[in-house]
Amino acid sequence: MMTFYMTPGSCSTGIHILMEELELVFAAHVLNLPAGDGQKPEYLAINPKGTIPALVLDDGTALTDFVAIAWWLGQKYPKKGLLPEGLDAQAVALDRLNYLVNHMHGHGFTRLFTTDRYMLREDDREAIERQGRTLVMNGFHQVAKWLQATPGKWVYERFSVVDAALFYNEFWAVRLGMNLPDACQAHYQAMIQRPLVKQVLAEEGYRV
């Protein structure tokens, strides 16, 4: 059985949604990162980065990055259609995953959630938070162009791994009181209406 390491309301929520969409059987371990669970020796032995999500496969292989896990799930279960068809389209999907996870999350939201990491002095706080919001909102305006270019409510013609990554960014933005572009707001509303997304959020202790 696969083992999934997660933290409720974090980026791992996107992977949680994908695994439920695929109807996979897995063991879930909840980590309290603020309490230091990510730095415990037993977890560092699985994921030396001490981050989430992490997915340990049946053969013991550990995937410790959102993009890698999402890509593996899409490739492992192709009949579910979590990746667009064709090499070129899949490369674009990978590029978009990286934009959402490594740019919007990794550079934008981290400045809002872990501001101290970027500060040289206390006076820097406001400027760093403002920079983070600018990065995030510029990102959402770019994402809105993806959504506007596709008929329907998803990034592609059907729900994909990219939608799961986009959703956790939207979820954070909404909880921070940020105003999403109309296309992103429509995407967010479509996501929270999916039964399995409702299920995952309830399991993780959230009401929308």
Question: Is pTM, for the whole model, over 0.85?
Answer: yes
Residue % of the chain over a pLDDT of 70? 100
The three-state secondary structure class of 65 is: coil
The answer to whether 208 touches 28, Cβ cutoff 8 Å, is: no
The answer to whether 159 touches 82, Cβ cutoff 8 Å, is: yes
> pLDDT value at position 25?
95
> pLDDT value at position 151?
87
Q: Say how far apart CA 110 and CA 108 lie, in whole Å.
A: 6
pLDDT band at 207 (very low <50, low <70, confident <90, very high): confident
> What domains sit in the chain, N to C, each tagged with a CATH number?
2-80 (3.40.30.10), 87-201 (1.20.1050.10)
Res. 23: pLDDT tops 80? yes
Number of Cβ within 10 Å of residue 42's Cβ equals 7
Q: What is the pLDDT of residues 145-194, one digit of tens each?
A: 999 999 889 999 999 999 999 999 999 999 999 999 999 999 999 999 99
